[in-house]
Amino acid sequence: MEAGIFWLVLLVAAGAAVYLFQKSRPSIAHKKPQPILQEWGASEKGNPTQIYHGKDVTVFESDGGWKFTIGDPNDRREPYFSEPYETVDIAKTEALRHINRLPSLHQSLPEQRREKRRQKEEEQREEFVSNEPEIIAALAASADAAANVTELRKIERKAETQLRHVDRVVGSIAIYGSDEAIEKALIVQKEARELLENIRMRVAELKEKPRNNKAGPSAS
């Protein structure tokens, strides 16, 4: 009797162990198949090419970099052409990622240029907020020291040029700048406009003086 119970318990334990082992194994049906990467061949023009997921993929040199084109052999529509990338290997990588609808790992050359331009504009905006008040103050001091219309006219032209620059940068700051930067830029713009207005008023005053002197004392 005891021997029978022993063997019964042993069989139950063995069955439970087999069940738990099978449950812990990953199901083959749930495994995500990995894409098979094919070797790149060469086109008639010597460019890297391959058929990937049923698409004709070719990488070629153009516009100072490397582009890729993706076409469907069974589709008469124009193939897709990418922007140029820095190297042939980057273009290859981005071509396959484009087909797999994966995000880009690298910037194209136009994207790099746009990013550099954006950074440069950001630096210019920061310099503007820091340096422009000093430039306007220097022009105002020169205007105060001017003794005649000729000198004031020269400063007036500089003030006009400076105001155009201020208006252009303030417009950029209004779109891309922080609230603090916008506030400072508007103050600078107001000062630049007031400076030009004051210079023009002084020019008018100096031009009026000779007329008053020529008129002489009025007869009583």
pLDDT tens digits along 119-152 = 988 888 888 888 989 999 999 999 999 888 999 9
What DSSP assignment string belongs to 156-218?
Answer: HHHHHHHHHHHHHHHHHHHHHS-HHHHHHHHHHHHHHHHHHHHHHHHHHHHHHHHHHHHH-SP
Confidence of residue 37 (pLDDT cuts 50, 70, 90): low
Q: Is the pLDDT of residue 34 over 50?
A: no
Domain with CATH 1.20.58 in the chain: 113-213
> What does the pLDDT read at residue 177?
83
pLDDT tens digits along 177-205 = 888 888 989 999 999 999 999 999 989 98
> What does the pLDDT read at residue 127?
86
Contact 192, 136 (CB under 8 A): yes
pLDDT tens digits along 152-179 = 999 999 999 999 999 998 998 888 888 8
> What does the pLDDT read at residue 190?
94
Contact 75, 56 (CB under 8 A): no
Return the closest-CA partner of residue 70 out of 215, 62, 60. 60
Report the CATH fold assignment for 113-213.
Answer: Methane Monooxygenase Hydroxylase; Chain G, domain 1 (1.20.58)
Task: Name the average pLDDT for the chain.
Answer: 84
> What does the pLDDT read at residue 35?
46
Question: Is residue 66 classed as helix, strand or coil in its secondary structure?
Answer: strand
**Mean pLDDT, residues 78-92 taken together:** 96
